[in-house]
C-alpha cells in the first residue's frame, strides 16, 4: 500500500476517534487533512523536475561536437 493511502487512512481513523471524544475535533482536523498532502505533492514534483533536468543535461552533453579538419585529414576522408 502506498504511503499517501496509509496517511489518509490514519487521518480518517483519527478524525472518527477524535470526533467521538470531542465534537469540535473534526472542525480542526479537516484543515489539517487538506494541508497534509501538500508536502508530498511538492516533494514528488521536485524529484520529477530534478530528474528531467538530469536527462536534459545528459542529452546536451551527448551532442556531437564540431570538428575542424586539416587539409591532410580531408584527403583521407572518403
pLDDT at 58: 93
DSSP 19-58: HHH-TTHHHHHHHHHHHTHHHHHHHHHHHHHHHHHHHHHH
Helical packing angle, 37-61 and 3-21, nearest 10°: 170
pLDDT at 23: 75
| Confidence (pTM) | 0.47
| Residue range 6-17, pLDDT digits in tens | 888 888 888 788
| Residue range 11-68, pLDDT digits in tens | 888 878 877 777 776 777 777 777 888 888 899 999 999 999 999 999 998 887 787 8
Taking alpha carbons only, the member of 32, 37, 35 closest to residue 4 is: 37
C-alpha grid cell, residue 60: 546536451
Amino acid at each position: 500500500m502506498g504511503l499517501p493511502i496509509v496517511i489518509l487512512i490514519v487521518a480518517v481513523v483519527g478524525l472518527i476517534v477524535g470526533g467521538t471524544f470531542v465534537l469540535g475535533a473534526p472542525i480542526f482536523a479537516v484543515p489539517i487533512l487538506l494541508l497534509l498532502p501538500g508536502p508530498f505533492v511538492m516533494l514528488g514534483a521536485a524529484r520529477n523536475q530534478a530528474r528531467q533536468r538530469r536527462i536534459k543535461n545528459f542529452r546536451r552533453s551527448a551532442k556531437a561536437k564540431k570538428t575542424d579538419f586539416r587539409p591532410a585529414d580531408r584527403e583521407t576522408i572518403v
